[in-house]
Amino acid sequence: MNQALATGIDYRRVPLAMVVIALIAIPISFLQTRAGVLEGHPTFVALFGFASLSVVGFLSYWFVFRQLPARVKRNPFLILFAVFAYATMLDLLIALSLLGYTDVMNGYFETGEPYLKSSYGMACNLWDGTAHLAMYVGMAYYLAKSEPHRRLAMFWTGSLMSACGIYMLGNLIGEYAEYIEPSYAINIPFMIVPVFYAWKIVSDDKTPVGTGRAALAAHDYVLALGLLALAFLCAFRMLVVLNPTVSLTHNWAANVEPYLLAPARYPQMQMLAYGFTLMPFTVLAALSLWRAPSRGIAIWAWLFAGFVCQGQFAHIVGNLNAATKDTQFAIGQGAMLQYWSANLLVVLIPLWFAWRYEDKLRGAQR
């Protein structure tokens, strides 16, 4: 607050402005629906999408961020977060349209991104319009005050990389592969920007790291066992999607998670991503509990925390939504405990490790 008083600026207005910019998407969506903009040629829809995001960025700077101190308004990520926040509200409207609460974005499914009609696409957009919007509001506030926010930035990066990575790969190989339209390219900036932002945050992080080794508590041994159990689960579910017919994996694919074999291929991509990335990290994380804390492990811990939170939300919500449309994706009788135990384990263990490792890192710095 002292910094705000010294400059005469209330930095709380920045996240408030971010919310207002996002909400502007609602009337604009209704106007473009009435004008029939989304019913045009797919190339026109893609160009219109890029143009509207660019205009939002320019207007955000001109009417809001231009009034901030030079050190803040010259930060390009603040403008990008405003554009992304606007996009999150569009994604929320897409999710609500798919759920039947409105029809404002129905035209976009035909000429923009038809693969959004999938249960996974709905779940991804629902997460984007809620969780990601909250993250943009938080990061905008920290950027305006020039305060460090490594954990939030890494969590957001992991979350967005999961959302875009699984989504874009699934579109290319799943049942929607024949329906790729030019609007597919709109997703590319959402893959590139997080990488550069994470790199900037890590480069600017000058927090000293001690060499002391924090004492292991009793729950650290439980955490280590949880991490190893998660590694086994990742390997097992990867086997399920790669070869669901053998006796070891057949029961799981047939009764516990039949959604893993959905023709849209998003669940398969999710399990492969867990197998090739999360599984080796959990083994490394378990071993790191016995070593001196490292900033690098802490960074990766929050990246994976965001990765699994988004991934599991999209997977679970997508599964439940798909089961309402097609009973073949319903969780089997008597398999609820296995289903929820497995899916909650994937969320809770990485989050627990990220928080615990951050505590160990801070303890080593003292």
Q: For residue 10, report the phi and psi dihedrals to the nearest 5 degrees.
A: -95, 105
Count CA atoms within 13 Å of residue 57 on its CB side.
16
Chain centroid, CA 235 distance in Å: 22
| pLDDT tops 90 at residue 317 | yes
Separation between Cα atoms, residue 153 and residue 82, nearest integer Å: 15
* Residue type present at position 174: G
Separation between Cα atoms, residue 133 and residue 92, nearest integer Å: 10
Which pLDDT belongs to residue 11?
Answer: 73
Q: Helices 13-23 & 25-34, crossing angle to 10 degrees?
A: 20
The answer for residues whose C-beta is within 8 angstroms of residue 245's C-beta and 6 or more apart is none
The DSSP output letter for 186 is G
* 36-49 residue pLDDT tens: 666 666 666 667 77
Separation between Cα atoms, residue 173 and residue 176, nearest integer Å: 8
* 216-243 residue pLDDT tens: 778 889 999 999 999 999 999 999 999 8
Which pLDDT belongs to residue 71?
Answer: 67
Over residues 92-97, the mean pLDDT reads 92
Residue-range domain boundaries for the chain? 2-204, 218-365
Q: Quick one: CA torsion of 346, 351, 356, 357, rounded to 10 degrees?
A: 90
Average pLDDT, the chain: 85
Over residues 282-297, the mean pLDDT reads 91
Of 258, 271, 251, 267, the closest CA to residue 346 belongs to 271
Separation between Cα atoms, residue 35 and residue 113, nearest integer Å: 19
Chain centroid, CA 159 distance in Å: 3
Model confidence band, residue 297 (pLDDT cutoffs 50, 70, 90): very high
| pLDDT tops 70 at residue 35 | no
Over residues 186-214, the mean pLDDT reads 80
Model confidence band, residue 78 (pLDDT cutoffs 50, 70, 90): confident
The DSSP output letter for 89 is H
Of 296, 342, 350, the closest CA to residue 319 belongs to 342
Q: Which two tokens stand for residue 294?
A: 């490292």
| pLDDT tops 90 at residue 28 | no
The answer for residues whose C-beta is within 8 angstroms of residue 98's C-beta and 6 or more apart is 116, 117, 121, 122, 125
Residue corresponding to tokens 């086994």: 232
Model confidence band, residue 2 (pLDDT cutoffs 50, 70, 90): very low
Q: For residue 209, report the phi and psi dihedrals to the nearest 5 degrees.
A: -115, 125
| pLDDT tops 90 at residue 292 | no
CB 312 within 8 A of CB 343: yes
Q: What pTM value is reported for the model?
A: 0.90
Chain centroid, CA 258 distance in Å: 24
The answer for residues whose C-beta is within 8 angstroms of residue 218's C-beta and 6 or more apart is none
Q: Quick one: CA torsion of 46, 127, 340, 336, rounded to 10 degrees?
A: -70
CB 75 within 8 A of CB 139: no
Of 366, 363, 178, the closest CA to residue 289 belongs to 363
